[in-house]
Amino acid sequence: MKRGFRELLIENSDSIVENWLAEINSLKTGNYTATISDELYESTNREFVNVIFTSIRNQGSSKEVEDFSEKIINLGWPLSYLTDGLQVFRRVSTEYLLSQSEVIDSNQFSMILSSVDEWVEPLIRQLVNEYSGSWENILSLQRVALQELSAPLIPVMEGITVMPLIGTIDTERAKLIMENLLEGTIKHNSEVVLIDITGVPVVDTMVAHHIIQAAEAVRLIGSTCILVGIRPEIAQTIVNLGIDLSNFPTQSSLKKGFTKALELTGREVIDLKNRESDIEGIINSLKGE
């Protein structure tokens, strides 16, 4: 932006800010920011326009632009808020500079438009790039978090762990299941691992193949894998597909699978109330003697 125009904007920033706020506030009704509180919207708008003028004063990019883009991402606001705000600022600035010109001809008009664009276009590019970069980073972090949640291995007691699976299992997720299963089995020193497929909606040939591979891998490192959550329709599918599950135990529910795991680790569930009653009966019978 040419020096004279830039100084004119900065010197009259109060008037331009008020005009910009009036227009940007009018966009709130019925659009993507309609649900945002008036207080937050007002404070963010003022911060936005301050960032714009800071960039004008610095004649280019600034740390404030990067920080503001990150803030908009964290608030969950769309990119169009930034682009609309800059387009409004371009229009308001152009109109103000034209209003201050003594002579308005095609040459003067062209100079003003060119001067405003020299600043606005780079700022739009920087804001969009910063926004896109922050958004991609957040998506990457969320993807990692979802992957970790998609195949958790939960130690329930010494020597016994459970891996509950929910949702569709594709090749990429199957690989993650295998990695987490082996690493977790060794980390927790698990004797028995229960793979719970209660939440898996469809078990086809590919899914069954991946599960068998995971169970076989667990067996090779010295642990036992129990497949639980075998619903009638899944059992029928497995039989129809001719899949051999004879190499590792299966149970219809997690409860039955856990009981089997206790048995394999030399433990059992004891009903303490019944045990106390039995002991009390023995004591009473001895007293009777």
- Beta bridge mates, 163: 195
Q: What percent of the chain has pLDDT over 90?
A: 6
Q: Identify whether residues 139 and 183 lie together within a single domain.
A: no
Same domain as 135, residue 201: no
Asked if 12 and 116 sit in the same domain, the reply is yes
State how many domains the chain has. Answer: 2
CA atoms within 13 A on the CB side of 74: 7
Average pLDDT over the chain reads 79
User: For residue 249, what are the domain limits?
Assistant: 154-272
Contact 97, 9 (CB under 8 A): yes
Say whether both 129 and 216 belong to one domain.
no
How many angstroms separate the CA atoms of 13 and 11, rounded? Answer: 6
pLDDT given at position 64:
78
Domain holding 56: CATH number?
Answer: 1.10.490.10
Q: What is the DSSP letter of 163?
A: E
251 pairs with which residues across the strands? 228
Please check whether residues 107 and 219 belong to one and the same domain: no
Q: What confidence tens digit (pLDDT) does each residue in 186-201 have? A: 998 999 999 998 888 8
Same domain, 137 and 188: no
CA angle 106, 7, 18 (to 5 degrees): 90
Which two three-digit tokens encode residue 125? 């590019």
pTM of the shown model: 0.50
Question: What pLDDT does residue 162 have?
Answer: 92
Q: What is residue 159's DSSP assignment?
A: T
253 by DSSP, 3-state: which?
Answer: coil
CATH number reported for the structural domain that contains residue 266 in this entry: 3.30.750.24
Pairing of strands 154-157, 160-166: antiparallel
Regarding whether 263 and 190 lie in a shared domain, the answer is yes
**What mean pLDDT do residues 10-21 have?**
83
Supply the pLDDT for residue 278.
60
The tens digit of pLDDT for each residue in 103-117 reads: 666 777 778 777 777
Determine the pLDDT at residue 1.
Answer: 45
Q: What are φ and ψ of residue 163, in 5° steps?
A: -120, 100
Helical ranges in the chain per DSSP H: 3-11, 13-26, 38-58, 63-75, 79-99, 106-150, 171-187, 205-220, 232-241, 254-264, 272-288
